Amino acid sequence: MTETAASTDPAGRDAPLISRRTLTKAAAWSIPVIALAAPAPAFAASTDVPVTVTAQCLPGPNGGFAIATAPIPVGEQVTITLTHSGAGTFTATPNFPHTGSNPFIVTGTGAAFSGQISVNFTLSQNGTGTVTAVVTGSGGVSGDSSSFVTQRRDGNSQNYNQCSAG
């Protein structure tokens, strides 16, 4: 069986035609190339958003975190997770719009983000507690950073007189 046929072009010459079989073979070979090329735009669209987290010692049983990012693309998310180690407990109060209570999720609007989280420690006598903030990207944002605040309450005192941040 032949894969080409002849036809007459407008000038009256015989011209070979491409058969359906040849066309099907060419299409089958091109599909893997198209499939390999298709995912590339998705990877190119990923955005690395640099993040800075700065811990702060505040008066009394308090500490805090200041968080700043470069512009977060619309719809992308940054997640702020607080963890506790050591004695006592803590409460956290963010001063920015978010979803969730811990982790706190901030959804990008196309603008840079800046916010603070106040931390209040509850420690027993001679107790030491540390809260660590870790900021990561989700939904394509890949920047991350972390910092900590440690508070200590000495002896029978109600004073929280030792704090470190880093």
Domains in the chain, start-ordered, CATH in brackets? 4-44 (no CATH), 51-165 (2.60.40)
Q: How far is it, in rounded angstroms, from Cα 163 to Cα 63?
A: 8
Q: Which residues pair with 145 in a beta bridge?
A: 135
Closest C-alpha to 64, from 86, 79, 80? 80
pTM over 0.75: no
Q: What is d(CA 98, CA 76) in angstroms, rounded to the nearest whole number?
A: 13
Mean pLDDT, the chain, integer: 78
pLDDT digits (tens, 9 = 90+) for 83-141: 999 999 999 999 999 998 899 999 999 999 999 999 999 998 889 999 999 988 876 56
Task: Please check whether residue 145 is in contact with residue 80, taking contact to mean a CB–CB distance below 8 angstroms.
Answer: no
Closest CA to 65 of 15, 11, 37, 104: 104
Confidence of residue 80 (pLDDT cuts 50, 70, 90): very high
Alpha-carbon gap, residue 46 to 73, rounded angstroms: 10
133-151 pLDDT, tens digit each: 998 887 656 666 888 999 9
7 CB-contact burial (10 Å; exposed 0-12 / middle 13-18 / buried 19+): exposed
> pLDDT per residue over 33-78, tens digit each?
444 444 444 444 556 788 888 999 998 899 999 999 889 889 888 8
Nearest to 67, CA basis, from 49, 47, 89, 41: 49
